[in-house]
Each structure stands twice: as C-alpha cells, then as structure tokens.
C-alpha cells in the first residue's frame, strides 16, 4: 500500500473520538433510545386509532333502523273466512287442486282427494310427493286471494296448516298430505 504525506486533516485530536473524517463511534444506549421512540410512536398511533373508532362507532349509522314502537292499528285486520263450498265463490276457469301424498302410507293422497271431490272441489292430479317423510299436512296457495279456499281445505280435511308459497306452480292450491292424516 502506498504512503501519502500527512496533512492537516490527519492531525485530529484524539479526544474528539472520531474515526475517519465524518464518523464517530455510536453513543452508548442508542439502540434502546430508538426502541423507546418506536414503542412511544406505536402507543400513540394505537391510542389515536381507538379514539377514532370510538368516535366513528358513536356517530356513524350503518343503516340499522331505529326500533319502531308499535301503535295500535285503527282498524283490525279482516279475518279470512274459510271457503268449504265451491259454489259460494267464483273459481277461475281451469282451477284445480293438486293433492300430493307426502307420507309413507299408501293411499292418503287419494283419501284426501275423495273428501274434496265429495264436497264439489275440482281435484286435478293426485300423486306422490318428492319426499315421503312429511309430518304435517300443508295446504299451499300461490295467490293471497285464495287464502279462504286454503283455509276451507284445512277445515274439510280436519287437519293441516296453510302456507302462501309459489313452490307449486302447477295449481293455485296444492295439498301435501303428511303423516298426521294417517292417524
């Protein structure tokens, strides 16, 4: 290695503690101070975030409707009367009732269809349902105007419940006979 002559930059007093022209040894505890500053900054950011979330939660409405106090209605809802006699209503042309046997007992669908036919109702298809483990007989009606007819079917059969549904588009009223018809 080559030797260069000494100049004024080489004559640095030893008490300055410098190594090279611009470097000094790192002061003691510098790593702990950096860690302390990072912890302080993290704490401040978390605190500000919690305060912001608290303010947002208290002041931000996410679309939850306020509870509505129920007021007594001025007029009671009209009761639907069961229609058991088809001659008392104007049935649309082609109106039929489908009867499905939803129980594992053979002949329940036909027995129910015979009761309806004897009362004068137009019964269309009588067949087995897709499932044979139906417990409760259900009368499905697709038009709210046919609720009285559905109630009449329950009254004529002496069992079951009604449900507004468009699950059976083949007939305006479909009766799924359950195991309760066997007893």
Q: Are residues 94 and 164 in the same domain?
A: yes
100 and 51 inside one domain: no
Q: Are residues 40 and 94 in the same domain?
A: no
* pLDDT digits 0-9 by tens, 138-152: 999 999 989 999 999
Q: What is the pLDDT of residues 42-76, one digit of tens each?
A: 999 999 999 888 877 776 555 556 666 665 655 56
> What secondary structure letter does DSSP report for 171?
S
**Reported pTM:** 0.58
Is 119 in contact with 145 (CB distance < 8 Å)?
A: no
Mark whether 92 and 43 lie in a shared domain.
no
DSSP 7-76: -GGG---GGG--BTTTB-PPPTTHHHHHHHHHHHHHHHHHHHHHHHHHHHHHH---SPPPPPPPPPPSSP
Residue range(s) defining the domain that contains residue 158? 86-181
């Amino acid at each position: 290695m080559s030797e260069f002559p000494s100049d004024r930059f080489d004559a640095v007093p030893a008490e300055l503690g410098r190594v090279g022209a611009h470097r000094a040894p790192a002061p003691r505890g510098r790593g702990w101070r950096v860690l302390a500053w990072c912890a302080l900054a993290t704490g401040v950011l978390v605190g500000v975030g919690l305060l912001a979330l608290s303010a947002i939660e208290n002041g931000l409405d996410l679309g939850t409707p306020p509870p509505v106090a129920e007021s007594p209605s001025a007029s009671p809802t009209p009761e639907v009367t069961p229609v058991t006699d088809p001659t008392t209503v104007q049935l649309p042309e082609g109106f039929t009732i489908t009867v499905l046997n939803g129980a594992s007992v053979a002949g329940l669908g036909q027995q129910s269809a015979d009761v309806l036919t004897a009362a004068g109702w137009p019964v269309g298809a009588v067949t087995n349902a897709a499932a044979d483990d139906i417990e409760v007989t259900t009368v499905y009606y697709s038009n709210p105007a046919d609720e009285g007819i559905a109630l009449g079917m329950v009254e004529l059969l002496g069992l079951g419940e009604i449900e507004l549904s468009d699950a059976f588009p083949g007939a305006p009223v479909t009766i799924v006979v359950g195991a309760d018809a066997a007893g």
